[in-house]
Structure 1
């Protein structure tokens, strides 16, 4: 699936395949979470990465713009209260140069598509509280109390597919 926001270079959003795509996903996460938000690298990268579906937004010349991941099955059940029909969207990150261009929304929709293809009925996520409005505009509803994750306030959110 491709996209071309006004005033920006065209980009493609796709499932990451192979080591180069995965390295591009991790490079965006490194910049956004580890460098900008000061999340310790040892908690940013976890055992769930190996079995996750990673989604990548990338320009035609190979510049990674954003990424996110979908956990499903047992990995997601551990994060979503045990429901195997619910996927877990996480590690959504958009590089500074691509913010406000629709990249984040395109990544969320691609993750939802991947969840639907795996027979999931809903997607859960843990949103940083400053991003609640972004996810609400995409149809997610917050539930439960605010909680810290890596020292950053979060809320759980869910959207039925």
Structure 2
């Protein structure tokens, strides 16, 4: 798999639609928002060039936010999700002034993000009909 920065937002949105809207039942109005235009997008492609995973990165006041991490079913269990998180962290850490990373984790995958040094904070909340918790990792 190859992961790269991309301007192909349509490919990223297609993966997110498949994973979040079709599989997980997240309402389209909550998944597709106006933040995509100003975000950094990562796209993973398989050896045949097919889009298989994506992540969206946002920056606000010294915090890099990793979000919309999605991997298509055929690529699950291959390590692609971990590779997307590592690539996201590398991209954000390379930006000047970033002192903290943040993400909103579905509660069942909190242990996955803990492997990368993220710590859950605050109460559980509903996001798109799925229980989530905020997670952060300080870089200082």
CA deviations over 1:105-133 (Å, ceiling 9, x no partner): 11111111111122212210000001101
Structure 1, unaligned runs of 5 or more: 1-10, 74-83
**4+ residue runs of structure 1 moved beyond 4 angstroms?**
none
2:112 aligns with one of 117, 121, 134 = 134
Highest relative contact order (Cα 8 Å, sep 6+), 1 or 2? 2
* Aligned equivalents of 1:139, 1:129: Cα separation in 2: 16
Question: Aligned ranges for residues 1-161 of structure 1 at < 5 Å?
Answer: 11-17=1-7, 21-73=8-60, 84-119=61-96, 120-161=98-139
Q: Per-residue deviation at 1:30?
A: 0.7
Structure 2, unaligned runs of 5 or more: none
* Aligned equivalents of 1:31, 1:39: Cα separation in 2: 10
What is residue 8 of structure 1 aligned with on the other side? none
TM-score, length-normalised on structure 2?
Answer: 0.94
Question: Which structure shows the higher helix fraction?
Answer: 1
Question: What is the root-mean-square deviation of aligned Cα atoms in Å?
Answer: 1.1
Question: How many aligned residue pairs are there?
Answer: 138
TM-score, length-normalised on structure 1?
Answer: 0.82
Q: Per-residue deviation at 1:98?
A: 0.7
